[in-house]
Every structure is written in structure tokens, then in C-alpha cells.
Amino acid sequence: MTPGILRQIKTRYKTWDRGKGKTGQLFVDLMSDDATFRSIGGGVEAMAFTRSYRTRKEISAYFEGLIRDWQMIFFNVRLFLVQGDTIAIVCECAWKQRHTGKTVHSPKLDIIRVKDGKMCDFFEYFDTHQAFAACVPGGDVTARKPRPLYKWGGSRTVSGVTSATTANVKTLKKLYAQWNKTKGGTADSYVHVLAPNVLWGSLTGGADPVTFTRTRLSREEVADYFRELDQAFRMNYYKVTDYIAAGPFVLVLADVSFTSRKTGKTFRSPKADLWRFARGKATEFYEYYDTAQAIAAAS
């Protein structure tokens, strides 16, 4: 990836926050004519603008629908993770739904693929359960402003593969292959690669009825997470599609399917797991997926 296109993308994210979501056309201008644009929102009725788009001309409709229905409060970037022609943007955003007045504050992950100096593919993860619920009139509307998770202007760019990066990817490839093959029967293998004090988070954040997804702060607590996950869901498959790695970070992209043991309902979702390592041990983990589907399956 050339420094020029990376610099342009980073500048557009900064402008996106400063312009409070009104500068979407700047992203569109940086896309190839045949670019694809996809969202974990999947074009559900409440947020129809999150449907998939296949050309640069069509993509403008996403930004038009977004700014029509939502008012940005802030958009902060923590990390630009760069490998080859792929950029993963780890960020957070807060928006107010214009028609209901409800506020959403969600961690967010954007994955951009670049080809010939243009953005050719985009995919976004956010808390779909929270966002869809905010589109429904009625209920409580809070006036409290969300508190950012990340400090504005504090984002860092990480690129380059070290011997430690390669070793971390090798470790995760083995773990995920076993995880899928045994249908979730090798949780202990994950626990063994964790540092004693690890920050383990999930996009659902412990929401009912998937309370086991609450934040964990130690290796022992993560072991409890896996036990509670197995009690709540049966894995159907966990198929890894890509590894994006640089420095101490590894982002694992997958397609997953689980069935709720309580309801018998199945959900399928793209999934992204962000790992951070130090001296061969994982010190941080965060998982992104379609939270609305997961919660609906468990309800």
C-alpha cells in the first residue's frame, strides 16, 4: 500500500469526525468505480441504507441514508492496522437517531481493501442490536452524552510484520483450526495463550440474555467466559477467512454459526476477533459480530 492512499484514508476519518458525518462524499470519491460496500447491518428495514452496494455511484446512497436518519456525536479512531493492501480501522462512534431521539454508542471496526490506489472494498462492524433498538419509537430517551472510550486524536498506525507477529499468527491458526474442528471443544487451548491479566471484550458487552459476553479481566475469568458460552450455544462452524497482522496485533476474520441450546434458534454472522500480544501471550481480545442476530437467537 502506498503512503499516499493511507494518508488520504486517515485524513478522511479525521474529517469525518470533524464534519459530524456530513463528509461521506469524500470517501466515495476515493473508491474505485466497481467498489463494493458492505455492512453488518445487512439492509434491515430499520436501517435499509446498510444494504450492500456494488458500484461507487450506488455507495452515495449509504451516506445519504445515514445522515438523513442519524446525527453524529463523535467518531474516534484508536488504531489503523495495515497489512499489504488491507487496513483495519479500530474505532468507536456515538450517534443520535433523528426520529426517535435515542443515542447509540458502539465500538466499531471498518475493514478497507485497496487496489490500484483506490478503495475497492469496505466492510463495517457495529453493535446492530443497539442500533436497531434505537430506531424503534417509545421507551426511555436519555439526554446524557456518551463518554468516549478512546481519546480523540490519539490514534496510532501499526504496520510491518516481525518474527513475533509471524509466531502469533501461527499460534492462532492452530487454535482456530482446532476450535472449528472440535466445534468449540478446545477452549482450554485459548486460555493457555492468555496473559494472567488480559482484557477480554465483546461487542454485546454482557447484554441480556448473553450476559456471559461481559468484559473479563483475567485468564480465570476468560475460562468462565468459555464455559458459559458452551452452556448457552452449540457451535456449528467457525470458518476463518483471513488473518490481518502487524506489530503486536492480529485480526482474525471468520464466518460463524451457533445454535442456542435454550431456544434452538441458529444465527450466522461474519465475525472479527482482534488480538494483541506481548512476549508471546495475548493481553487483549475483542470480538465483533452481528449482535442483533446473536441476541435474537438466545431470546
Q: Give the whole-angstrom CA distance, residue 11 versus residue 115.
A: 18
What type of residue is 27?
F
Question: Does the structure show a pLDDT above 70 at 152?
Answer: no
Q: Which CATH class is domain 160-298?
A: alpha beta
Q: Give the whole-angstrom CA distance, residue 182 versus residue 81.
A: 30
Percent of the chain surpassing pLDDT 90: 93
pLDDT grade, residue 93 (50/70/90)?
A: very high
Domain boundaries of the chain, sorted by first residue? 3-158, 160-298
- For the stretch 169-211, pLDDT in tens is 999 999 999 999 999 999 999 999 999 999 999 999 999 999 9
User: What CATH number belongs to 3-158?
Assistant: 3.10.450.50
Q: Give the whole-angstrom CA distance, residue 23 versus residue 108.
A: 18
Tell me whether domains 3-158 and 160-298 share a fold: yes
pLDDT for residue 139 = 81
Question: Rounded to the nearest 5 degrees, what angle is found at the Cα of 16, between the Cα atoms of 100 and 47?
Answer: 35
pTM for this model (two decimals): 0.96
Q: Read off the pLDDT of each residue in 83-87 and give the average, rounded to a whole number.
A: 97
- For the stretch 98-129, pLDDT in tens is 999 999 999 999 999 999 999 999 999 999 99
pLDDT for residue 57 = 92
- For the stretch 228-271, pLDDT in tens is 999 999 999 999 999 999 999 999 999 999 999 999 999 999 99
